[in-house]
Every structure is written in structure tokens, then in C-alpha cells.
Structure 1
Amino acid sequence: MKHLVYLGNKLSSAGRTQSTIDTLSTLLRAEGFTVTTASKQTNKVLRLCDMLWTILRHAKQADYVLIDTYSTQNFYYAYLCALLCRFLRLPYIPILHGGNLPQRLESHPQLSASLFKKAFINSAPSNYIKAAFERLGYTNVKCIPNSIILKAYPFKERNIQTINLLWVRSFSEIYNPKLAIRVLHGLLERGITATLCMVGPEVDGTLAATKSYAKALKVTVTFTGQLSKAEWIALSQDYNVFINTTDFDNMPVSVIEAMALGLTLVSTNVGGLPYLIDNNITGVLVPPNNADAFIEALLVLRQDRKNTAAMVSRARAQAAVYDWNSVKKLWLAHLK
């Protein structure tokens, strides 16, 4: 069976949200692959060194190197790891996570070409990223969606007469969590009974800032910190609307999970979200950083119960497309 080296930010043990390297590596092992992962190092320099050393240490055994690739500073991790792979003549596969990667292609065309055009394939979790790459002349991009184990997400029919909002994401500025606070505040000001629970770990000081913002607006918000997948799935049973407030995004697994669970979905219309959510069919898309648009969408969904129930049912059917039993066939087609 093939030996894979998988490089990414494996930081869940350090209090961060589980990322693709945690879930996909486990699923690939279950399919019979040997998978070596890196890195758990929290220090960025040490993390890069660990990744490079892992490539060197397994160069003779590895068949492919998978590299989680983002649009922020981690882009340079991917570039340097790919450079070493090419020196060692190891085929590598960037997994294209960053919602802002299209802008990275344009702002750093030479580095991007060196990284992506020389890859075995580039794995795009969404057609949004695939189309953006292809517009700039990349031909080695395959769409392999993020996946879930559908049976782990119990579907529940919900009434949203009382609006109980759930937000699940790492607390990072690009995910704009303060927008969720403004949405709650606006609903309460209109006399609508509503609650908000925000799930996720601190990343860049945004959690503390969001708590202060809620206090300043005098609204009560439940902050759980990081929860395991099973814990937040259980928690979701007490909520009925999932809001995604991000300013940049690709194909967030948390949104797919919300669709699977039967949560009514309202999201900003950015990045890959319109490729994932069919507006007014499986969820509602609104302009970014616009609390009033969120509130108006929620009030319409609250009023039109029949249409909302149909939307949630269609979203569950859409989530089934991302079940691992389907997605794994795409991985196996390339890795075997």
C-alpha cells in the first residue's frame, strides 16, 4: 500500500480546531494507506523545520506528499516544502484551502507558478478555487471536496420561532465573529427572542475582543471555547440557525456539517460559499459584514416556515454529496 507524507497545521492538541490534516489522514489510514503527518509544533519556525525534516526522513518510502496550502503565511510553508519535494523528485499534492488563494496567485505569480504548476495535481476542495486557478492557466487542478462522515450527524427538524443562533469557527479576524454579536443585538432590539452560542478556540486575540464587544453591546452570549466534534454536534441539538459570518472563505466543513444536522443556514456570500450554498434553495447568502441583511434573512425564514423546512431538507440532501464514501473514490483514483 502507498506511503503518504501529509504536511499541515496539526495543532488540535494545542487547543486549535481540528483541521483537514487531522480528519483526512485518519480516513486515509482507514483505507489502508500508511500516513506520516507533520507538524504539531506551535512555533512557526519549528513547525516548518519539522515539516522539512519529515520529508527528508521519509523521502525513500514516500509515494506522495500532501501539503495543506493556505493563502496566508502558511503559503510559504507549502512553497518551501514543495521546493524540497522537487529536489528529491517526490510527487506532491497541494490541498488548496485558503479562500484568498486566487488573490495570492495574482500577487505572487512566480512563486505560485513554481508551487502549483509543478505539482502532481492540485486538490481543490471547491469549484470556486478550481475555476480561479483555471482562469489563470492552471490545468492540473482536480476538485476533491472536503468530506464528512454523514452518519455522525443526526438530522433534526427544528422550529425557528425562537431564533437560537450557533456560530462555529476559530476566533480569527478574517471570520468576523463580531458580526454575529451585531446580528444578535439587532434581533433583540427588534423585540425578537434570540440567543447566540459561539464555539471555537482563540487564534489571534479575536475571542477576547469579541467577548468585550458583546459586553459593550450588553448582550448575553455563550462562549464555549474549543469543543470536540462530538461535543459541538451534541450542542447543536439546542440550536436552530447556523450563521457563517466570514469575510474570506473556501469550503468550510462547519457549513457542510450544519447542512447535515438540519440547521437553517445563513452565510456571507464570499469566496466558495456560493459554490456550496444554493441561495434560497439550501440556505441564504447575504452580503459580507452586513448585520441588517442577516437579520432580514432570519426574519423571512422565521415567518415562512414551510419554505424554511424545505430548504433545510434540501441542504441535508446536498450534504450527502460530501460523505466520505463518495469523496474517497476521488482520492483513491489519484493516489492508487
Structure 2
Amino acid sequence: MRVLLLADGRSVHTVRYQRELKRQGVEIILASLERGETVDVQLKKKSVSNSLNYFFVNREISELVRKTDPDLVNPHFASGYGFSTAVSRAGKNRPVILHCLGSDILVSPKKSVAHKRKVIFALSKASHILVDSNFLAGKVSELYKSANIDVIPWGVEQEILDLYDSKAKTETAIAEPLKVLVPRPHNPVYNNLFIIEALKELINEGRLSLFFPNWGDDRDKFKAEVSRLCPNGGVEYYDFKPRDEYISFLGQFDIYLSAAYSDSSPASLIEAMAAGLYPVAADIPGVREWLDGSNGVLYPPNDRGALADVFKKAMARPDDLAGILSANHERVKATAVISDNIKKTIEIMERLISGERR
């Protein structure tokens, strides 16, 4: 089976998906406007506008389909490569599986009528749609009722599951200073500055040590505010890491924290649960599919006092911490292992290629 994958070549999730498909015997051709080490075909940017590039690239995609003759085309991100594929008419003679990733469905359609029409057009031209949460599936159906949808989380590698045992979390208490991982880039939707504003007192007291990515649109502004609010340190930054290094890095932490305004089924949350980190996240719909308040903490979005209280309680050790971490690990192990979930994806691809429909 030969698949033309159209996705962001910079994304760690693209690379993980590409590699696992290859490992399971699929011939993958990754084409991308974005540069990445595993990109097979570098698509040409003709504008400084991403929106225009996704339109202009449609002819190049048509030609690529003609030259490579894939059995199936697999664009990721409805308002990006999903739209490009729809305009290119790549699905005229072969199936198209569209991966919706979250903001393409939750954010893009709200920007303007034109953005919404682009997303609906992409959905309408897909043979099948894959999403990572029931919440996102519902939002897709609201936009385009005739969509054929399956819910398949991204999933974690075995190496992340192995972290749980190596950390021996069931035998140790959370100790101060708590090591907290906030693995979301400094973009407005992830609301990272709110975290600093809520936890600055605990950080300045030396009771928390927070780690953030060293990238994102608002990184410089964020760093300036951290220097002002937390002059004694306690906030660190990490550069992008190869996947194996990131997995090892993940094992160092006690708590996972997210303040995102919008999310589907956060891959970083699932990874943290698999690895044995105690999860804390803003209470938004996509997160609730994995976190319900009994297996970690959901706090009201943008409530500084509530988030500070969460960490004060965590320092006293949550009730049945070992049981919570174990249950989270087992849940991910049962439902969100990448090798299992890619196998399910391949089965859908094979069914579509053979012409079978539900």
C-alpha cells in the first residue's frame, strides 16, 4: 500500500505517524510545505501567507499524485492540507483520509465565514475522517453532517509506558520542590503566562520548579514577564529534543500542567499519564475525555486561586496517589498505544482502498 501523506514536516506527531506506518509495512511519501528531516517531497511556498500557500500548492499536489500514483491520500489539518487536497481533486480517483487535529476544527472556522467554508469544503471531499477525541468528532459533525468519522487517539510508544516502572512512582511521594512540566509552546491558545501569574508565590518560595519549551510566538514576552515576576529563578526552558531524548526527559517530572483554552485529546496529557506524572489541566471539553477530576485535577480556566490551591494540596500528597498514577498508566496502555492505533488506521485505509464502506 502506497500512501501520500500531506502534513507539517516539522511536527513530531507527523514524524511519529510516518515512522510507525513505515514500520508496519506501508510505503509512505511525505510531502510538506514545511521543512523537516523526514520530508520526501518539499512543496514550494509561493507566498508569505500560509493560507495562500495551501491554495497555490494544489496544482503541485495534483502533479505529485499523478507521478507517484498512491493508493490513498492522507492530508492532515482540515484548513491546511485538507483544503489543498480538496482543491487539487486528488480524491477523484482514490480515497482520501483526512486527519483533523484540533484547532483546524475548533478555532479556524470561527475566524471568518471564508475560513469556515474552507474547512467544510475539505471535510466534504474526504472519503473518511480521523479525529483523536469524541469531542472533536462531534464538532466535525456539526460542520458537516455526512462525515464518515473514526476516533483514534495518537497514542504513546512503549518507551513512554516503560518510564512508569523505571520511575517507581508507586513507591515514592511527591517531594518539594515539585518538578512541573508544561510542554505547550508559548502561543496564545496555551495560556502559559497565566500559569506564572497563578503560581509565582510558590515559585518564588522555591516550592515549585517549572519547565517550559523554549519556543513559540510569545516566547520573548513570556520570558520577560517571568524575569519580572520570578526574579529568583524556578522557571527553566528546554530546547526541542529528538524523540528518544524527550522521552527520557519526560521521566524527570512529578506533575504535568496545561492551561490551554482549546484542545482536542492532548497527546502530551496522554503521554504524561502513561509515564506516571500527576496530571493537572484546565477544565475544557477535549481534556475531560482523559481527565475527570478523580484521576488528576481539573481546575476552572483562568482561575489563579484555584490553580494555586491545586499545587498547595499536591504538596501534601494527593489521596491514593499511587492508585491514581497506576490507573492512568493502565488506561493509556489499554487504549492509546501508537502501534495498536496505527494498526487500526491501516485497517481503515485498506478497507477504503478495496472500496468497502460501512
What's the TM-score once normalised by structure 2's chain length?
A: 0.81
Residues 148 and 188 from structure 1, CA distance in 2 versus in 1: closer, same or farther, beyond 3 angstroms? Answer: closer
Q: For residue 112 of structure 1, what is the aligned residue in structure 2? A: 119
1:110-189 to structure 2, matched below 5 A, reads 110-136=117-143, 137-153=145-161, 154-155=163-164, 156=167, 157=169, 158-162=172-176, 163-188=178-203
Q: CA deviation at 1:315?
A: 1.2
Deviates more, 1:21-30 or 1:78-87: 78-87
Q: For residue 17 of structure 2, what is the aligned residue in structure 1? A: 24
Aligned residue pairs total 321
1:199-244 CA distance string (max 9 Å, x none)? x34232x111111111010252111121222223222333211111
Q: For residue 319 of structure 1, what is the aligned residue in structure 2? A: 332
Q: Which amino acid aligns with 1:166?
A: L
Secondary structure of the 2:125 match is coil
Q: Which amino acid aligns with 1:89?
A: N
Secondary structure of the 2:284 match is coil
The one of 79, 97, 100 aligned to 2:101: 97
* Distance in structure 2 (CA, Å) of the matches to 1:91 and 1:298: 49
Q: 8 Å contact 1:185–1:219 — kept in the other structure?
A: no
What 5-or-longer segments of structure 2 have no aligned partner?
Answer: 36-43, 48-52, 351-358
1:281-329 CA distance string (max 9 Å, x none)? 2x21112223322221222233244422222111111221110232123
The answer to whether residue 220 in structure 2 is matched with residue 208 in structure 1 is: yes
Q: For residue 14 of structure 1, what is the aligned residue in structure 2? A: none
Q: 8 Å contact 1:7–1:21 — kept in the other structure?
A: no
* Distance in structure 2 (CA, Å) of the matches to 1:214 and 1:119: 44
Q: Which amino acid aligns with 2:124?
A: K
Q: For residue 247 of structure 1, what is the aligned residue in structure 2? A: 261
The answer to whether residue 50 in structure 2 is matched with residue 36 in structure 1 is: no
How many percent identity over aligned positions?
19
1:212-227 to structure 2, matched below 5 A, reads 212-217=224-229, 218-220=231-233, 221-227=235-241
Q: 8 Å contact 1:201–1:207 — kept in the other structure?
A: yes
* Distance in structure 1 (CA, Å) of the matches to 2:18 and 2:155: 12
Q: For residue 251 of structure 2, what is the aligned residue in structure 1? A: 237
* Distance in structure 2 (CA, Å) of the matches to 1:55 and 1:251: 32
1:48-100 CA distance string (max 9 Å, x none)? 46675244223352111111115xxxx14421222213574332111110246
* Distance in structure 1 (CA, Å) of the matches to 2:82 and 2:104: 15
Q: Which amino acid aligns with 1:27?
A: E
Q: 8 Å contact 1:67–1:93 — kept in the other structure?
A: yes
Deviates more, 1:314-323 or 1:289-298: 289-298
What 5-or-longer segments of structure 1 have no aligned partner?
Answer: 12-17
* Distance in structure 2 (CA, Å) of the matches to 1:284 and 1:100: 27
Q: 8 Å contact 1:5–1:55 — kept in the other structure?
A: no
Q: For residue 276 of structure 2, what is the aligned residue in structure 1? A: 262
Secondary structure of the 2:325 match is helix
Q: Which amino acid aligns with 2:5?
A: Y
Q: For residue 9 of structure 1, what is the aligned residue in structure 2? A: 8
Secondary structure of the 1:36 match is strand
Q: Which amino acid aligns with 2:88?
A: L
Q: CA deviation at 1:264?
A: 0.6
1:25-58 CA distance string (max 9 Å, x none)? 1111111111001215358547646675244223
The one of 265, 290, 305 aligned to 2:303: 290
